[in-house]
């Protein structure tokens, strides 16, 4: 069985945030809710200065702390390694959001789903229709765009990346694109001291 | 992420630019800002010989110590619910004539001299205490 994962090539990321926008459009997330984020860090001082962009998303850990913390069994791991949330089992206790060391889980409140991007006034048609996917009160997170992956597509953030800084595929296969990158450039997991065994790696 | 003048009016891009450390700010070099007692998020007046606008300081190392910069496409003169009162416009501080207009894009291809005051000392009221900090 495949072990789906992602490798970030930090040398390629230009911090354009196209992945963040594509993720918001694909999942139709309310304002202020992000499944993927790009952190920016400035290194050095003028004139010898550069910016480093660090994209993040749910790491789909193999020892997922969120799954261990979930009391209702709403968080589960698919056979291909994608950590999922069954919203109909989620009781909204937020234990997973507290347990996640990467801060990648968000509880959707009713205010979030009733809000409009424009501010005051009615929701646009596309907002209301797409928010029906979410149940208010439940905790959500990135699911590697599992609906797209099941159809044989790449996750939205990978498909939209203009510099191919996000490489998605089977980590167990040494000949797949992420497997090759991991082997050649020694991918490193985020926060290895947390012992969560992430399936998202960084190469630089 | 930047789409020129449409950035400010795009609701989903607003989610990004309202969280950006520099996009809506008056960007000043971190060292020269610190030497003048400016911190990230301090409100300031930006005054040129044409206009005066209120902005917020964003410090970065990635700019020359004697330069201040604002992002293009913000500070728009509009009633759009998202774009109004977001950031400040550079056009108000630039010499508006045909000699300084880019013939290809129609934008202002020039720079202007500005003074930057802390907003707690309003310029004009008491010139002595309102020395420009940059």
Mean pLDDT over each residue of chain B, to the nearest integer: 81
Partner-chain contact B82 A118, CB within 8 Å: yes
CB pair distance less than 8 Å for B1 and A51: no
Q: With helix as H, strand as E and coil as C, how does A52-102 read?
A: EEEEEECCCCCCCHHHHHCCCCCEEECCCCCEEECCCCCCCCCHHHHHCCC
Instruction: Quick: pLDDT tens for B41-88.
Output: 888 888 888 888 888 999 999 999 989 998 887 887 778 878 877 888
A119 within 8 A of B82, measured Cβ to Cβ: yes
Long-range contacts, stretch A165-168, CB < 8 angstroms, 24+ apart: A165/A8, A165/A9, A165/A10, A165/A12, A165/A13, A165/A14, A165/A55, A166/A6, A166/A7, A166/A8, A166/A9, A166/A19, A166/A55, A167/A6, A167/A7, A167/A8, A167/A9, A168/A4, A168/A5, A168/A6, A168/A144
pLDDT band at A158 (very low <50, low <70, confident <90, very high): very high
pLDDT band at A110 (very low <50, low <70, confident <90, very high): confident
| Partner-chain contact B12 A32, CB within 8 Å | no
User: Which residues in chain A are closer than 8 Å to B62, comparing Cβ atoms?
Assistant: 42, 46, 49, 51
A-B contacts at Cβ under 8 angstroms = 44
**In which band, very low, low, confident or very high, does the pLDDT at A99 lie, cut at 50, 70 and 90?**
very high
Instruction: Name the pTM for this structure.
Output: 0.84
pLDDT for the residue B132: 54
In which band, very low, low, confident or very high, does the pLDDT at B123 lie, cut at 50, 70 and 90? low
Q: What is the band of A23 on the pLDDT scale with cuts at 50, 70, 90? A: very high
Instruction: Identify the sign of the CA torsion A28, A191, B62, B69.
Output: positive
pLDDT band at B127 (very low <50, low <70, confident <90, very high): very low
Q: Any CB–CB contact under 8 A between B66 and chain A?
A: no
The answer to whether the beta carbons of residues B18 and B11 sit under 8 Å apart is no
**Span A37-61, mean pLDDT?**
92
* Binary contact (A21, B62; C-beta < 8 A): no
Q: What Rg do the C-alpha atoms of chain B give, in angstroms? A: 15
Q: In the 8-state DSSP scheme, what is residue B69?
A: E
* Residues B12, A24: C-beta atoms closer than 8 Å: yes
Q: Looking at A24-28, A190-194, B13-17, B102-106, which range is the least confident one?
A: B102-106
Tell me, yes or no, if B51 comes closer than 8 A to chain A by beta carbon. no
What is the model's pLDDT at position B102? 82
Would you say residue B6 has pLDDT above 50?
yes
Q: How far apart are the first and last CA of chain A?
A: 28
* 3 state DSSP class of A44: strand
Q: Which residues of A touch B1 (CB under 8 A)?
A: 16-18, 21
The candidate with the shortest Cα–Cα distance to A34, out of A55, A9, A7, is: A55
Mean pLDDT of B103-108: 79
Distance in Å, alpha carbon of B66 to nearest chain A alpha carbon:
12
Record: contact A45-B64, CB cut-off 8 A: no
Which of residues 104 through 123 in chain B touch A, CB cutoff 8 A? none
* Mean pLDDT value across residues A141-157: 93
For chain A, which domains are there? 4-203 (3.30.70.20)
**Residue A118: its chain B contacts at CB < 8 A?**
11, 81-82
* pLDDT category of residue B129 using cuts at 50, 70 and 90: very low
Vertex A191, ends A187 and A197: CA angle to 5°?
A: 70
Integer Cα distance of A199 and A7 in angstroms? 8
Q: How far apart are CA A22 and CA A158, in angstroms?
A: 9
Secondary structure element (H or E) that encloses residue A202, with its range: strand A200-203
Q: What six digits make up the tokens of A164?
A: 């191919």
| Tokens of residue A36, six digits | 């993927």
Residue B10, chain A, CB below 8 Å: the answer is: no
Whole-number average pLDDT of chain A:
90
pLDDT (mean) for A27-38: 90
């Amino acid at each position: 069985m495949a072990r789906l994962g992602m490798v970030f090539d930090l040398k390629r990321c230009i911090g354009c945030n196209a992945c963040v926008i594509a993720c918001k459009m694909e999942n139709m997330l309310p304002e202020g809710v992000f499944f993927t984020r790009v952190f920016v860090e400035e290194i050095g001082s003028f004139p010898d200065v550069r910016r480093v962009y660090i994209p993040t998303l749910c790491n789909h850990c193999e020892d997922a702390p969120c799954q261990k913390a979930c009391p209702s069994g709403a968080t589960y791991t698919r056979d291909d390694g994608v950590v999922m949330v069954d919203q109909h089992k989620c009781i909204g206790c937020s234990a997973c959001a507290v347990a996640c060391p990467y801060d990648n889980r968000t509880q959707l409140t009713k205010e979030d789903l009733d809000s409009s991007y424009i501010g005051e006034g009615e929701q646009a048609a596309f907002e209301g229709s797409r928010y029906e996917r979410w149940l208010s009160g439940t905790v959500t997170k990135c699911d590697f765009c599992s609906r797209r992956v099941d159809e044989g597509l790449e996750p939205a953030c990978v498909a939209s990346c203009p510099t191919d800084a996000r490489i998605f595929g089977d980590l167990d296969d040494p000949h797949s694109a992420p497997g090759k990158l991991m082997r050649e450039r020694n991918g490193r997991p985020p926060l290895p001291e947390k012992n969560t065994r992430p399936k998202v790696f960084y190469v630089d | 992420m930047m789409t020129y003048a449409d950035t400010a009016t795009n609701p989903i891009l607003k989610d990004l630019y309202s969280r950006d450390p520099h996009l809506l700010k008056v960007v000043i070099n971190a060292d020269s800002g610190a030497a003048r007692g400016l911190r990230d998020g301090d409100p300031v007046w930006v005054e040129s010989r044409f206009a005066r606008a209120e902005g917020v300081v964003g410090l970065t190392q990635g700019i020359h110590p004697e330069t201040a910069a604002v992002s293009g496409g913000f500070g728009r003169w509009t009633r759009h619910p998202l774009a109004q009162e977001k950031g400040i416009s550079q056009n108000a501080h630039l010499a508006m004539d045909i000699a300084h207009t880019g013939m290809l894009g129609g934008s202002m291809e020039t720079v202007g001299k500005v003074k930057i005051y802390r907003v707690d000392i309003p310029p004009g009221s008491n010139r002595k205490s309102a020395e420009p900090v940059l």
